[in-house]
Structure 1
């Protein structure tokens, strides 16, 4: 069982905390025996209030002997207040243990101030990006919804924290469990999350046809700048007709149609899970202009992208 320490500061976002703990709870249920446990940590072990004024009791303080396998940090909308000698020493102490560490949105500032973002990047909310970037290199704080590696994970906050948590579950307990959790909570992860959850060596397509899985992986890795289908076939040492036959056999669609649908599914996920403009989403999903996105989107989903948002 993996233990997770969740460090909370006054004003932490309750939504992000729920996007961590609820998927972990469901993972324990779907796995039929617990694979994760989590404990809350504050500097002095005192109760902490969220940004919505919900007060929580906690389990540990910075000086406790609790040594989690994973440490995640949730700060407030005023992250500068969390940068103290005590918090920096706490993070540095746990960093020496070479565990997975991570943060949500502005929590990245505390890691940067602690000197723990060297050769790493942290996803932050687009509204915080400019303010956080000013004293640092442009590649430290990045405009991503989430990022995950073996030693560090981060999310831009909000629902993107779900994707980060699903990636965490997949990393430690397999993609099948992570996909089951996503299904149980009625959440459709971003395409980038699906590439981690569903297209690994144990994914069914890979078992049926590895080259087909490799083709899909190339597509998922090039959502923003689509690769010509002929180039994909060449990379896989296939003739174009061979690749088309594989897609027709398993999906009843051409490679180009399947690729387009991946980009459209990603666009739809971004529309529903981010506040990016339709134009920005179109660019991020490989469409040269809004008209091109809107035309393909309406054909696929029967609605204009501008009208397919939850807010």
Structure 2
């Protein structure tokens, strides 16, 4: 789901945002999320954004009154006690949009609150998901918004996640000012992937799925058909589609298209290739097909994406 749906909150004044720090204050998962939002709050003033940061012990005593609430913990953090976790999660769930960052995502999933929800979980925690009975859909992305549920894999991706929230809630100018303060040149989008996530999760358990994705990643300019990929990994088309649906929540053709479009977006932002060249390099022989597919995934055209790059402060 597009982060554009957060625009419904953009009219709220003041917008009340809660961050619950269940980990260490100097962990990058926490600092990367909190610092951009603090800078935005300072620039906007309390009439526009009221940012509250609390410990688990503090939040259970607070009166719920937030538009967004996030439970944050570094991936190495030990879980909260079951009683404290229930109380903290109950407070967070009272917000219009709520979720977790880093290990907080895993705790929400283990509480049975992410059933059939697309979540971005730190790849290092994939091994801890075996006992989750209410299955979430683990994606390899940096962060996700599914319905009211927000999730981010944490680490350095917390910075990208915070800056994306700022853009959609308060506009590109506020985001640009915070980026400049932090010396951030490019914000990675929610569709970008944790580099080792798929191999870490599926390499041993689902080697054919991992092999199929590798084939897609290495055949961007001249895409293979779904039948070709199935044959190359030794599966029927139906078996391959079942694996993708079960583990990635997508059909192979859709997943492959998204990979190509993500590569196209990267080229538009990081190179000076023409839009036509970028389309051809990512397997699109038709400019109109490229533009339509790109707009469907990202919400803007390749030309608008390139203009964003040109307009960004150096």
Q: What is the CA-CA distance between 1:33 and the residue it aligns to?
A: 7.0
Structure 2 CA distance for partners of 1:169 and 1:193, relative to 1, 3 Å: farther
Q: Per the alignment, in what secondary structure is the counterpart of residue 225 of structure 1? A: helix
Q: What is the CA-CA distance between 1:84 and the residue it aligns to?
A: 0.9
Q: Is the 8 A contact 2:116 2:136 kept in 1?
A: no
Alignment equivalent of 2:40, drawn from 19, 27, 52: 27
How high is the TM-score relative to the length of structure 2? 0.52
Give me the whole-angstrom Cα distance separating, in 2, the residues matched to 1:101 and 1:181.
Answer: 23
Hey, what does 2:277 align to over in structure 1?
Answer: 256
Q: Per the alignment, in what secondary structure is the counterpart of residue 117 of structure 1? A: coil
Give me the whole-angstrom Cα distance separating, in 1, the residues matched to 2:68 and 2:25.
Answer: 19
Hey, what does 1:85 align to over in structure 2?
Answer: 83
Hey, what does 1:40 align to over in structure 2?
Answer: 53
Give me the whole-angstrom Cα distance separating, in 2, the residues matched to 1:137 and 1:12.
Answer: 31
Moved more, 12-21 or 105-114: 12-21
Give me the whole-angstrom Cα distance separating, in 1, the residues matched to 2:29 and 2:74.
Answer: 11
Q: What is the CA-CA distance between 1:107 and the residue it aligns to?
A: 0.9
Unpaired runs of at least 5, structure 1:
45-59, 195-220, 230-246, 262-311
Size of the aligned set, in residue pairs, is 198
Structure 2 CA distance for partners of 1:15 and 1:86, relative to 1, 3 Å: same
Hey, what does 2:105 align to over in structure 1?
Answer: 108
Give me the whole-angstrom Cα distance separating, in 2, the residues matched to 1:257 and 1:25.
Answer: 37
How high is the TM-score relative to the length of structure 1? 0.53
Alignment equivalent of 1:190, drawn from 188, 191, 213: 188
Q: Is the 8 A contact 1:72 1:101 kept in 2?
A: yes
Q: Deviations over 1:189-244 (max 9, x none)?
A: 125579xxxxxxxxxxxxxxxxxxxxxxxxxx9551359x9xxxxxxxxxxxxxxx
Q: Deviations over 1:23-64 (max 9, x none)?
A: 1122235547763232232333xxxxxxxxxxxxxxx34022
Q: Is the 8 A contact 2:143 2:151 kept in 1?
A: yes
- The Cα RMSD (Å) is 3.5
Give me the whole-angstrom Cα distance separating, in 1, the residues matched to 2:139 and 2:31.
Answer: 23
Give me the whole-angstrom Cα distance separating, in 2, the residues matched to 1:252 and 1:127.
Answer: 36
Structure 2 CA distance for partners of 1:116 and 1:139, relative to 1, 3 Å: closer
Structure 2 CA distance for partners of 1:26 and 1:255, relative to 1, 3 Å: farther
Which protein has greater RCO, CA pairs closer than 8 Å, 6+ apart?
2
Q: Deviations over 1:252-292 (max 9, x none)?
A: 8242237759xxxxxxxxxxxxxxxxxxxxxxxxxxxxxxx
Q: Deviations over 1:70-115 (max 9, x none)?
A: 21112354566315123224313542x3521121121112212332
Give me the whole-angstrom Cα distance separating, in 1, the residues matched to 2:75 and 2:21.
Answer: 12
